[in-house]
Amino acid sequence: MSILPILLYPDVQLRKLATPVNEIDGRIDILVGDMLQTMYEAPGIGLAATQVNVHKRVVVVDVSEECNTPLVLINPELVEHHGEAEAQEGCLSIPEIYETIKRPAQVHIKAIDREGNPFELDADGLLATCIQHEIDHLDGKLFVDYLSALKRNRIRKKMLKLIRDQDD
């Protein structure tokens, strides 16, 4: 397993639409392993393949306190959603920025697991927020898109400065 570099906002690669996985082969298994290691190392509670510049519909999530309950979602689909909830969100591609975002409170999703088995899942709370945030990544969408243009611009400038400072 290896730690993969994470793209930082406003990298245009984060806007790419990820394509569905047709076959769960060894390459996908390696990608999933690398993504899990990258997420835990960061540390973060979710990572989409888009963020490591692989434009396939693969997401890893772990919202457990002990960081020992990985959830792998391949070709995840939001089937149903209910209610509305506000939660603070952050993103490994937008470090040090946290904003309150309004999303559906409960979701029902279907996906394929690492072994290639289809499954369905009901989620609420942090898990629901995280899954929706990660599926957005696969569609080239970021949580800053839910903010006002003014706020988004401010974050963009902050990020550009952060990237510049890193390069120095």
Distance CA 6, CA 92 (A): 7
* Least Å from the CB of residue 1 to Ni ion: 21
Using the rule CB under 5 A, is 28 a contact of Ni ion? no
- How many residues sit close enough to Ni ion to count as binding (CB under 5 A)? 1
C-alpha closest to that of 87 among 114, 108, 63, 54: 63
Q: Tell me whether residue 107 is exposed, middle or buried, using C-beta atoms within 10 angstroms of its C-beta: 0 to 12, 13 to 18, 19 or more.
A: buried
| CB atoms inside a 10 Å sphere around CB 4 | 19
Tell me, yes or no, if 134 is annotated catalytic.
yes
Task: Name every residue whose Cβ is closer than 8 Å to that of residue 21 and which is 6 or more positions away in sequence.
Answer: 28, 56, 57, 58, 74, 75, 112
- Part in contact with Ni ion (CB under 5 A); list of ranges 7-15, 70-78, 89-97, 124-132: 89-97
Q: Give, as ranges, the residues between 61 and 80 that touch Ni ion (CB under 5 A).
A: none
Q: Which stretch binds Ni ion (CB under 5 A): 8-16, 35-43, 62-70, 86-94?
A: 86-94
For Ni ion, which is the closer residue by CB, 33 or 95?
Answer: 95
Q: Which amino acid is at 53?
A: N
DSSP string, 85-123: EEEEE--TTSTT--EEEEE-SEEEEEEE-TTS-EEEEEE
Number of other CB atoms surrounding residue 55 within 10 Å:
16
* Shortest separation between residue 51's beta carbon and Ni ion, angstroms: 6
Q: Which residue is nearest to Ni ion (CB)?
A: 91
Stretch binding Ni ion (CB under 5 A), from 6-14, 65-73, 91-99, 146-154: 91-99
Smallest distance from Ni ion to CB 117, Å: 26
What's the closest the beta carbon of residue 26 comes to Ni ion, in angstroms?
A: 26
In the set 49, 71, 91, 159, which binds Ni ion (CB under 5 A)?
91
Which of 23, 86, 96, 134 is the catalytic position? 134
Catalytic positions, please?
Answer: 134
Residues forming contacts to Ni ion in the complex (CB under 5 A) are 91
